[in-house]
Structure 1
Amino acid sequence: MENSTAENNNAGLERPAPQTNKLLIILAGAVLAMAALWVYSNTLSSPFVFDDVPFIQRNANIAVSDLSLDSLKNAAFDSTRPLANLSFALNHYFSGGNEAAYHMVNIVLHFLAGLGMYYLLLCLLAVPGIGQKNASSQWAPFLAALLWLVHPVHTGAVTYIVQRSAVMASMFCLWSMAMYIKARLSARGKGGKYWVLSVVLWMLALAGKEIALALPFAALVFEWFFFQDLRKDWAGKFALILGGFLAASVIGAYLFLGSHPLDSILYDYKNFDFTLKERLLTEPRVLVYYLSLLAFPYPGRLVLDYDIPHSQSLLNPATTLYSILFMAGLIAAALLLARKRRLVSYAILWFCITLFLESSFIPLDLAFEHRLYLPSVFPIFAVAALLPSKENLRKPAIVSLLSIAVIFGVWTHQRNTVWQSDVALWRDTVAKVPENARAHNNLGLALAHAGRDDDAFKEFQKAVELKPDFAQANYNIGISLGHQEEHEKAIPYFEKAVEKEPENVLYLNDLALAYMGAGRLEDAITRLYQALRIEPEYAPTHNNLGVALGGQAMVTQALEHFRKAVEIYPDYADAHRNLGILLGNLDNHPKAIAEFEKVIKLLPRDPQANFLLGRSYAAVGKYEKAVLHFRETLQAVPDYIPALYNIGLIYMGQEKYVEAAKFFEKILKIKPENMQASKQLKKCIDEARANVQAQKEPLSPE
């Protein structure tokens, strides 16, 4: 399919793509759409998993309640991926937390990316050195796009909701590349609109994910390969443009990372258990594995969270050196093949260029399948483009590729069944990488969410066994023990978590709560002040500190922190409740009532808040309101003795002895040994009898 040499297109002469029946193009697009929908149709009920939870499900900025400019701006610029974030915010606005809506958007974007790939490949057929006007060339774009759309490795980008950023960035990159080629194939002066579209689409890709930074470099290599015919006299211009791109990248890094980008990068490595050197040595092994996944993406080889052993040196493990030599040899082969097999050569370079950001010095996890989404485009096309032109060979080759597409589709559908439950997904991960501590921890979280606390606890323990300083797993063990009121046992685990991440305010707060549960209020106060120094405006810290200080009879300071908590977060029900309790203890019942009313507004059926509000109303003599809220408490907790007792006392005070007696009788049915209820019931009976007797006495004449 390839020419051994490429024509010079410096003159910008218009070269239309080989004529293709428009009806066939529409039909091909429909087939691609149906294929994408079929292989991902079983993902619509898949839950939020892993990074979906903090970045989407629990992200307050994403949970927009209106489409105001401020709301959308806060959502968009919550991270460095504004377009992806904006799409999540719109998803939430129109569908709330409905996972199916998020998945459907991902599927549509995946199809649009596949359609962009198909259109790009059709444009490529007119590029010197790629397309020929024969029947086989017409099949290559469709087969490549189909194989790419149904490839099982892309479940890591499409089914994993948060990786919409990768799908979105890749989609715009493919359309941008297509517009660049259209511009280059246009006659002089007629390609302006395509150049503008290409730049705009690339900027949209950048707003989706940073991987789009690789596109100018990939396009520059494409220009040299196919439009400049690898001319040596263009090498100087090539170097100049490349230098400009590199300079722009350095300036971007300076603006993004600060005046000391290297220090910033090295600082971020503290969040990982590998060094910069270990990452650089390990990534060639990862790249080789990525290539094997493209060739053989059997679902049994796919994993959400890989656990790649770190390369300590060139020979530890030995595959490190082999992988480095293999990748170096692959790049060398690409350069040597540039004349004779230009498309194959470019596919290798495209793979390396588009993976560079996520597979080099940047402090990221070592491997994720979603990173193959964009890099796989040209390698898959290069395979499809090798279709033989001879009729007797071409048809069997087409049938073979279609058969592979069907197998890939079945495998993708099969892989997606694992994503239908977070427990199933993490069980699959643990089964494939049993030494992965993070996978065991996440399986524990999934089991805890499913109410299987004992099984969850075992997974947290396994995670700590594999990685003793794993902060989150230690924290989760502490939480589990805290739920069992085992505060003393929980404290060492929280302390390990804090030791590993001393600036984690959440860990400090829960350590403080464990101290409080164990009666160690001074230790709790110390940790909470430590948390405030790190993050002064964190409302839960102020609330917890108020509780601890109140326990030490430091009432003034406690009031100050409760008030600060509700100032930071006006809808903080627990802080309003605690402030009301403290004000009530100080006999400041009117202000206590105001705080409890705020709690009721936020949590109308909350039994404790209703009881506390009822008690405060009773303290200021507003008995009807008091009874109303005590009854509201009993609606939620029918056997709540304090509410029954207080209603009984109010009715006694109103001389409604028969009504009062009913409530004391209910208490005695619940707890027969309750002496106070028994005593009050006796009083009610005596008073009721006295009233009856008084009514029977004859009136004395004057």
Structure 2
Amino acid sequence: MTNNQAKQLYSKGTELLSLGRLQEALNYFREAIDSDPSCIEAHIELGFLLGTLEKYEESIKVFDQALSMEPNFPCFFGKGMALFFLEDYENSLDAFLEAQETGENEDLWYYMGSIHLFSGNCESAVNCFEIAISMDEEFIEAWNDGGVAYSILEDDENALVYFREALLIDPDYAPAVYNMGATLVEMGRYEESLPYLDKTLENEPEHFKALFYMGNVLYFTEKEEEAAEYFKKALKIDRNQEELWNYLGYVQFSLGQNHEAVESLNEAIKINKDYEAAYLNLGNVYLDLGKDNLALDCFERVLEISPDNEEALFQKDNLKDEWD
């Protein structure tokens, strides 16, 4: 075939792609490359389309073939994207840095920021997200993920600024709705967090973390019975959460449900044999039940884990004084 025929095949592929007929477009791009292996445009479109279809290894091969002919921004960027979705973040970052040599766009900076975020380099992540936002002020994912990075850096005020900006773009953007609620809970602003947690659970009733946070908010606003119900809902989703069992046990104890509290706290201890807080809470429940020997065992176990625990030392000394 001639070079002109390859271009015709490529053009037909782009037309089919615009109509959403992906598999047909894929075939035309392959035919264009078969007819003219130097058709760089067909390589680029094929590489990105393979990525869209989650055929990432094939996508990388196509971009590598194109790069051997012409090192350019789309090919380095496309290869970086395929590596990113394969969770090969180190090589993905290398490809994005190569792409920067010949160009940039907001997506490049966003995905570089995401790699830094995943690796725990939150300051670099924020810098990348800010550059992406400077190129596109409506880049909602960059606003949200920038807020996540600030949260990890324990800069909750800036995190709220970023989440609010995301919600100004789309008030129903689920990640930012949840993140606003969670951040407000962490800041102790419980009443303010409720509308965001409510909205998250309206849209996703089995959102585990939102259920957990809602239980905490209700407990701290002295609605213990409702708090216990949310903790139980969360445990139906994931029972292997020692912290959640401990919280439930503590709430049950505060409601006078001592036998239920013993069961919950023992579940926490089954999951984590060294869970100091659960032993401490269980000891206090046993004290309330008048089971002093079992309470002492719990406080001694706390002191094995943490010899300086003041509450356990106090309770142990009190029990021993009573027995002397």
User: Shorter chain as normaliser: what TM range?
Assistant: 0.7 to 0.9
Give the drift of 1:659: 1.6
Against the structure 1 CA distance between its residues 572 and 681, is the aligned structure 2 distance closer, same or farther, given a 3 Å change threshold?
Answer: same
Query: Aligned partners of 2:271 and 2:164: how far apart in 1?
Result: 37
Query: Aligned partners of 1:501 and 1:525: how far apart in 2?
Result: 20
1:584 paired to 2:219: yes
1:533 paired to 2:168: yes
**Match runs of 1:287-436 below 5 Å:** 326-327=3-4, 352=8, 356-359=11-14, 371-372=26-27, 428=61, 431-432=64-65, 433=67, 435=71, 436=76
| Counterpart position of 2:83 | 443
Q: Is the 8 A contact 1:482 1:514 kept in 2?
A: yes
Describe the superposition over 1:380-438 as per-residue Cα deviations: whole angstroms up to 9, x where unpaired. Answer: 9xxxxxxxxxxxxxxxxxxxxxxxxxxxxxxxxxxxxxxxx988656645654375222
Query: Aligned partners of 1:430 and 1:640: how far apart in 2?
Result: 51
Describe the superposition over 1:183-218 as per-residue Cα deviations: whole angstroms up to 9, x where unpaired. Answer: xxxxxxxxxxxxxxxxxxxxxxxxxxxxxxxxxxxx
How high is the TM-score relative to the length of structure 1? 0.37
| Counterpart position of 1:645 | 280
Root-mean-square deviation over aligned CA pairs: 3.7
Q: Aligned match of 1:604 in 239, 242, 246?
A: 239
1:615 paired to 2:223: no
Unaligned 5+ segments in structure 1 are: 1-290, 292-322, 331-347, 381-420, 449-455, 691-702
**Match runs of 1:21-170 below 5 Å:** none
Q: How many residues align?
A: 293
Give the drift of 1:646: 0.8
Query: Aligned partners of 1:469 and 1:584: how far apart in 2?
Result: 49
Q: Is the 8 A contact 2:190 2:221 kept in 1?
A: no
SS of structure 2 residue aligned to 1:634: helix
Q: Is the 8 A contact 2:201 2:207 kept in 1?
A: yes
Unaligned 5+ segments in structure 2 are: 36-53
1:566 paired to 2:201: yes
Give the drift of 1:491: 1.0
Query: Aligned partners of 1:423 and 1:538: how far apart in 2?
Result: 28
Give the drift of 1:604: 2.6
1:491 paired to 2:146: no
- If each structure's helix is expressed as a fraction of its own residues, which one has the higher value? 2
1:457 paired to 2:97: no
SS of structure 1 residue aligned to 2:82: helix
| Counterpart position of 1:683 | 318
Query: Aligned partners of 1:512 and 1:523: how far apart in 2?
Result: 7
Against the structure 1 CA distance between its residues 470 and 542, is the aligned structure 2 distance closer, same or farther, given a 3 Å change threshold?
Answer: same
When structure 1 is superposed on structure 2, of 658-667 and 508-517 the one drifting more is: 658-667
SS of structure 2 residue aligned to 1:621: coil
| Counterpart position of 2:309 | 674
Q: Is the 8 A contact 1:634 1:643 kept in 2?
A: yes
Against the structure 1 CA distance between its residues 375 and 568, is the aligned structure 2 distance closer, same or farther, given a 3 Å change threshold?
Answer: closer
Query: Aligned partners of 1:437 and 1:623: how far apart in 2?
Result: 59
SS of structure 2 residue aligned to 1:514: helix
Query: Aligned partners of 1:355 and 1:568: how far apart in 2?
Result: 43
SS of structure 2 residue aligned to 1:672: coil
Against the structure 1 CA distance between its residues 501 and 599, is the aligned structure 2 distance closer, same or farther, given a 3 Å change threshold?
Answer: farther
Q: Is the 8 A contact 1:430 1:440 kept in 2?
A: no
Give the drift of 1:589: 0.8
Give the drift of 1:521: 3.0
Q: Is the 8 A contact 1:668 1:678 kept in 2?
A: yes
| Identical pairs, percent | 22
Against the structure 1 CA distance between its residues 606 and 360, is the aligned structure 2 distance closer, same or farther, given a 3 Å change threshold?
Answer: same
